[in-house]
Amino acid sequence: MTDAPAELVHYAVVDAVATITLDSPANRNALSRQLVTELYAHLERAGADPAVRAVLVESSGKVFCSGADLTEASTEGMEAGTRRIVELQRLVATLDKPVVTKNLGAVRAGGIGIVAAADIAISADDATFALTEVKLGLAAAIISLTVHHRMNPRAAALTTLGGEVFTGAEAAAYGLVTKAVPADDLDAEVAAVCASLATGAPQGLRESKRILNRDLVARIDALGEEMAATSTRLFASDEAREAMTAFLSRKK
């Protein structure tokens, strides 16, 4: 009998705030099948808990999320994975409670989709972001559903086509995150935001969020299948497979 794999995502509720912590340092919180499954389940759990008014998604270390799990992608393909990430973004956007992300360090590629799907995103001003897909022969397809809803179009073009690193302060200027603060102030800022959200009445939070995210959810529903198919096709391409193999070999 084999042991169950160690939990990669943790869940705790304090003062009406459900905190969901990504804790998969071995792959820099990459969006593996296990991590996405656990994150999805914890979001549903928070949504169903009448004691919870707001949800915080954070990481145990400085890396918030490194994007797709390229090891899984290169060996198993991404057909199911791309749809799971579309569904994850939709769940964040449609959850009856506000979702906040806290980011101290690095966010890459698919991880940016979680930040963009959240209602409020607070980042350290020196945190780093990058839409690195273009460097690997891929495109920011499935996360464009949320990222392009948040970022101004000029910033989206610069960051998507360039694939270069930008800071939390720049992410705030681009519209990707709500606010960027000095790293030393991040915990206090996020705590204050979550405490404020927790004072909201459940019906008020639910109905306000539905109004705010109506266009975003419609965008996901209209384009999700097309973007998932595009992403799956690109991950399976020879160009992307060669680039991913080279990238993984450099990391070893």
Q: Is 38 a catalytic residue?
A: no
Q: Is 131 helix (H, G, I), strand (E, B) or coil?
A: coil
**Spatial separation of the C-alpha atoms in residues 73 and 61, rounded to whole Å:** 24
- Would you place residue 244 in the very low, low, confident or very high pLDDT band (cuts 50, 70, 90)? confident
- Report pLDDT for 189: 98
Higher pLDDT, 222 or 81: 222
Q: Which whole number is the average pLDDT over 14-24?
A: 98
64 phi and psi, to 5 degrees? Answer: -70, -55
Average pLDDT, the chain: 94
Bridge partners (DSSP) of residue 12 are 19
- Would you place residue 249 in the very low, low, confident or very high pLDDT band (cuts 50, 70, 90)? confident
Enumerate long-range contacts of 147-156, CB under 8 Å, 24 or more apart: 147/112, 147/113, 147/116, 147/176, 149/116, 149/215, 149/216, 149/219, 150/116, 150/175, 150/176, 151/116, 151/175, 151/176
Q: Is the pTM of this model over 0.85?
A: yes
Distance of CA 240 to the CA centre of its chain: 22
- Report pLDDT for 211: 98
**pLDDT tens digits, one per residue of 157-194:** 999 999 999 999 999 999 999 999 999 999 999 999 99
| Domain locations in the chain as residue ranges | 9-184
Active-site residue, from 133, 189, 207, 239: 133
- Report pLDDT for 75: 62
Domain 9-184: which CATH class? Answer: alpha beta
Which residue's entry shows tokens 């384009």? 223
- Report pLDDT for 245: 86
What DSSP designation does 28 have?
A: T
106 phi and psi, to 5 degrees? Answer: -90, 140
- Would you place residue 103 in the very low, low, confident or very high pLDDT band (cuts 50, 70, 90)? very high
Q: Which whole number is the average pLDDT over 22-36?
A: 95
Q: Which whole number is the average pLDDT over 7-30?
A: 97
Enumerate long-range contacts of 33-39, CB under 8 Å, 24 or more apart: 33/69, 33/72, 33/80, 33/81, 33/84, 34/5, 34/8, 35/8, 35/9, 35/69, 36/81, 36/84, 36/85, 36/88, 37/84, 38/7, 38/8, 38/9, 39/9, 39/88
- Would you place residue 197 in the very low, low, confident or very high pLDDT band (cuts 50, 70, 90)? very high
**What stretch of H or E contains 58?**
strand 54-59
- Would you place residue 204 in the very low, low, confident or very high pLDDT band (cuts 50, 70, 90)? very high
Q: Which whole number is the average pLDDT over 38-49?
A: 98
**Spatial separation of the C-alpha atoms in residues 72 and 84, rounded to whole Å:** 14
- Report pLDDT for 167: 98
- Would you place residue 85 in the very low, low, confident or very high pLDDT band (cuts 50, 70, 90)? very high
**Spatial separation of the C-alpha atoms in residues 89 and 158, rounded to whole Å:** 23
Bridge partners (DSSP) of residue 180 are 123
